[in-house]
Amino acid sequence: MPQVRSGLALAELDGEAVLLDEARGLVHALNATATLVWSRCDGSASLGEIVSELTASFGGDQRAVQKDVMAVADILVRRGLVEHRPPSGGG
């Protein structure tokens, strides 16, 4: 499950996020699409579920949405803004 890394400072301007990663001394500006994906990475939904949610909310072709979400998620992970966490055991 993708989850936003803790310890980041966030400001949102005109639907776009700025993230300050003080530990690494980096600042990231996300475009509107990346901000949407990033904001849904709360550790409770898989990427597939995020794709379904965004397709339902905004319409469009699911495969195109999936391609965009995967590309954005890959960048977010590489920049250290999102981590993959194993799903919590349901018992």
Partner 1 sequence: MKGARAGEVAPQASTLCRALDGLEWAAHVGPYQALGCKVGIRVTDPALGGYLDRTLGSLAADLAESESEHLYSVVDPGPGRGRPVHLYFDGHQVAALASPALALATLLWHLNRSAVASLPGHLLLHAAALEHGGEAILLPGASGSGKTTLAAGLIMDGMGYLSDEVAAVEPSTFTLAPFPKPLTVKEGSWGALAGLAPLADDVPSPYRERQWHLDPRRLRPGSIAGPCRPRLIVFPSYRAGAVTKVNPLGRAEAVALLATQVFTLPDAGQRGLELLADLVRTCDAFTLVVGDLEGACAALRSL
- What residues make contact with partner 1 under the rule CB under 8 A? 9-14, 16-18, 20, 22, 27-31
Q: Which is nearer to partner 1, 21 or 53 (CB)?
A: 21
**Dihedral sign for Cα atoms in the order 16, 53, 51, 54:** negative
Q: Which is nearer to partner 1, 14 or 61 (CB)?
A: 14
Beta carbon of residue 10, minimum distance to partner 1 (angstroms, whole number): 7
Q: Which is nearer to partner 1, 26 or 64 (CB)?
A: 26
In this structure, are residues 18 and 29 in contact, taking their beta carbons and an 8 Å threshold? yes
Q: Based on the number of CB atoms within 10 Å of its own CB, is 60 exposed (0-12), middle (13-18) or buried (19 or more)?
A: exposed
